[in-house]
Amino acid sequence: MKTLMTSCLGLLLLVGCAFNPPARILTAVDSGREVSIQTGQVFLIELPSNHSTGFSWSDRSEPGQVLTLVGPAGYMEDTKAGMVGVTGKETWQFRATQAGQQTLQLVYSRPWEKDIAPAKTVTFNVVVTGK
């Protein structure tokens, strides 16, 4: 029994240390502002979305070496899945890989509508400083 408890405690400590919560969560309110992040930190961009309308956010940023996307973008509905008209949130997680500056630009549009301007655009000016 004592061995089992020790093993469980060790596992909890390992999981707790491995989990790296974002240093900051950016939203549409932060668009256009300069955001400072330290090298190695992870931050999250969270934007309102409604996939049932066909709209979604896409990354139109110029490539850079300062920030790295961590995994694919995510989407979570605010209420029960499958309901028409349900709003949600799209999220992106980035890691600051080196000191410098990089601008992220995300647009809210229907991907198949090529000749129509996006419904919304957000821009985040990210400055990464050394530790």
CATH number of residue 79's parent domain: 2.60.40.2020
**Residue 110 domain-assigned?**
yes
Give 126's contacts (C-beta < 8 A, 6+ positions apart): 34, 35, 36, 37, 43, 66, 67, 94, 96, 101, 102, 103, 104
**Residue 66 domain-assigned?**
yes
How large a percentage of the chain has pLDDT more than 90?
Answer: 57
**Residue 7 domain-assigned?**
no
Instruction: Tell me how far apart the alpha carbons of residues 131 and 126 are, in angstroms, rounded to a whole number.
Output: 15
Q: What are phi and psi of 128, to 5 degrees?
A: -105, 125
Nearest alpha-carbon partner for 77 in 106, 54, 44, 50:
50
* 12 pLDDT above the threshold of 70: no
CB-CB neighbours of 67 under 10 Å: 23
**Residue 9 domain-assigned?**
no
Q: How many domains does the chain have?
A: 1
Report pLDDT digits (tens) over 40-69: 999 999 999 988 889 999 999 888 889 999
**Residue 4 domain-assigned?**
no
**Residue 12 domain-assigned?**
no
* 73 pLDDT above the threshold of 80: yes
Instruction: Tell me how far apart the alpha carbons of residues 76 and 90 are, in angstroms, rounded to a whole number.
Output: 7
**Residue 6 domain-assigned?**
no
* 6 pLDDT above the threshold of 50: no
* 18 pLDDT above the threshold of 80: no
pTM of the model: 0.77
Q: How many residues does the chain have?
A: 131
How large a percentage of the chain has pLDDT more than 70?
Answer: 81
Range of the domain at 29: 21-129
What does the block give as tokens for 65?
């070496």
* 129 pLDDT above the threshold of 80: yes
**Residue 13 domain-assigned?**
no
